Chain A
């Protein structure tokens, strides 16, 4: 158990819908990273928040957005869902400052039908 929690574990929805994935980092970690894992794209960095602020952006679609709340949990919002958005979505959290080790949560498996 990495100490990072994600909900829900599974999500099945239809095209065009909107979903929200939730992540709680390890106690004391200020950074939350979101990654997408699909069969053909491997693990892709989406976005990072540090202490409530966006710090880095990867190949995140405009239909996707994220935020980090004062209690440091983060939510990834996916809208206008397409079949190709079906994937495993992981969040990872990192220690306070100056280090780079990341621990992954159990992931949310999103299936878009």
Chain B
């Protein structure tokens, strides 16, 4: 069935360093890969997404890369700041009959140490 694996489960970096979170998906028909940031007790917030016709996308300090052959995608955060500390979720979806349900990874808790 559909599955998304996410690693690592926790990540601690020094402020200013880079952070990388990796996800692997099982459904080769998946074509949309969003990343969400969730602070404690709050809603998941979309921070960046990528579609399967693109290999890389960047938005300021955040970038996502996609390798369709290997079925994995990664989130890269550069020049990390304490406010980047949160839980990050990757997800994948495949086109359906007006359905784009998201299959989420298990989350990565990122801690940025000042």
List of A residues within 8 angstroms of B107 by Cβ: 42-43
B18 to chain A, nearest CB (A): 25
Least Cβ distance of A6 to chain B in Å?
9
Residues of B contacting A99 with CB < 8 Å? 100
Contacts of A103 in B (CB 8 A): 46
Contact B42–A106 (Cβ < 8 Å): yes
Flag whether B65 is at the interface (Cβ < 8 A). Answer: no
Assuming A42-B106, A42-B107, is B100 touching A100 (CB within 8 A)?
Answer: yes
- Using a Cβ cutoff of 8 Å, how many contacts connect chains A and B? 67
B28 at the interface (CB under 8 A from A): no
Question: Which stretch in A12-20, A50-58, A61-69, A75-83 binds the other chain?
Answer: A50-58
Other-chain contact of A45, B32, B41, B98, B102 (Cβ < 8 Å)? B102
Provide the residues of chain A in CB contact with B100, threshold 8 Å. 31, 94, 99-100, 102
Name which residue of chain B comes closest to A50, CB basis.
Answer: B98
A54 CB to nearest chain B CB (Å): 10
| Given contact pairs A55-B96, A100-B93, A45 touches B43 in the complex (Cβ within 8 A) | no
Chain B 42-83 interface residues, beta-carbon cutoff 8 Å to A: 42-46, 49
Q: B109 → chain A, closest Cβ, in Å?
A: 12
Q: Is the CB of B102 within 8 A of A104?
A: no
A27 within 8 A of B: no
The answer to whether A90 touches B97, judged by C-beta atoms less than 8 angstroms apart, is no
Q: Do B98 and A97 touch (CB < 8 A)? A: yes
| Chain B interface residues (CB < 8 Å from chain A) | 32, 34, 36, 41-46, 49, 89, 91, 93, 95-107
